[in-house]
Amino acid sequence: MTKTLSELNLRQFTGSENWYRHWAIRQVLFTDGAKYVADQAGAYWLIDEIAFAQKGEAAVAAEAFQVWKLDVKPGHKGVLTCEDGNDRAVFAKQLDFTDFPAPGIVMWFTDNTIFLPSEY
């Protein structure tokens, strides 16, 4: 299966009709847009990283509003960063491998929900 993710398709998400519950961190929800990214990019691991950080990283959990940025580097490497909404990083994780099909993506987290910025 070829994974694809286009900016044009992401822009169609301007709200969500459905909310999906994370399989392990049950209080974390994600929207139609976040699910689309996970489905199209094979990136449920990204949803997992954001959800698990809410429980395992005190600096992340302390932020009511979070900006999650995935930056894909050459050689299928990447960096996943969580910022506080004021461009201050509170968490970063080096990824030794990622097959994410785009140069990167931004997702937001607030009120226990993962979503695309256009869905806010």
CA distance 92 to 100: 17
Architecture of domain 22-119 in this structure: Roll (3.10)
pLDDT of residue 49: 98
- Helix ranges (DSSP H) in 57-120: 58-61
Q: What is the pLDDT of residue 1?
A: 59
Q: What is the pLDDT of residue 97?
A: 97
How confident is the model at residue 79, as a pLDDT? 98
**At residue 2, does pLDDT exceed 80?**
no
Query: What is the identity of the amino acid at 61?
Result: A
C-alpha–C-alpha distance, residues 26 and 22, integer Å: 5
pLDDT in tens, 25-39: 999 999 999 999 999
Question: Which H helix or E strand runs over 38?
Answer: helix 32-41
C-alpha separations of 22 from 30, 44, 49 in Å: 7, 10, 11
In this predicted structure, the answer to whether residue 115 has a pLDDT above a threshold of 80 is: yes
pLDDT (tens digit per residue) in 80-99: 999 999 999 999 999 999 99
Residue 8: which pLDDT band, with cuts at 50, 70 and 90? confident
- The domains of the chain are located at 22-119
- Cβ–Cβ < 8 Å for 51, 114: yes
Dump pLDDT digits (tens) for 54-89.
999 999 999 999 999 999 999 999 999 999 999 999
